[in-house]
Amino acid sequence: MQLKDKTILITGGSSGIGLESIKHFLTEGMKVIICGRDGLKLQLAKSKFPSIATISCDITKEEDVSLMHQLVMSSGGIDILYHNAGVVSVNSLVEKTAITIATNEMETNYLSAVRLTSLFLPELAKRKEAAFVFTTSAVAYLPAAFIPTYSASKAALHSYVLSLRYQLRELYKNISVIELIPPTVDTEATKIFTSAKVSAERVAKDVVNGLKNNRSTIHVSIAKSFSYLHRFFSSLAFSIVNPKNPIR
């Protein structure tokens, strides 16, 4: 895919992988729009990268998403929608809070992606070359038991991506459906995790390279090895994902 002069919308673009990705997309000559819930973080991102556009939006709220869609379309639309926003919580399934946490994670990590994809699909269908990028996770294949409902939300998203790619492959051959599969990434959200982590910069570089090389699945670092390990040695893979002391 040719990236120069294309416009990308990054959800959750004011921190973590999304924020790190901005400079790499700008280097490729792209126009970048980011959205997020934290106004201060959006301002800081704008001060760091003055050429980007920022939109305050809670992607779990239909009215916010509708307004964002209108703003994006009025500014010329997009070529790539990068579903990067996500939340993760360490939680116990035996606690009463499990349903509250699960609802938040499912709405943010999965349902928002379905909503946004449906909303922007007609726009991307008109482009000569377009893409949806979805950040799932290695735990979409085998759950990390200390983040159980996060793992479930990413498993749902992985399944959705496979179905979307299948359904669009004949209808809209101009649209690529790309799954980004990182292991644990070193961000504010994972600071209490004891597992080995990859940098957000590594993930951002892999996303750019994956888009440029038309890869439908982008495994970051050990994620690819893990997928094979899970397939042939599932018990061993589960023990690796679920160490005795997963958090500090």
Q: Which of 82, 141, 150, 160 is catalytic?
A: 150
Alpha helices in the chain (DSSP H): 16-27, 39-48, 62-74, 98-106, 112-125, 148-171, 200-212, 223-232, 234-241
Q: Is 82 a catalytic residue?
A: no
The encoded tokens of residue 72 equal 């994006």
Cβ neighbours around 32 below 10 Å, total: 26
CA–chain centroid gap for 44, Å, is 21
Nearest to 137 by CA among 217, 25, 52, 234: 217
Q: How far is CA 195 from CA 135, 137, 186, 246, in A?
A: 19, 14, 10, 7
Active site residues: 150
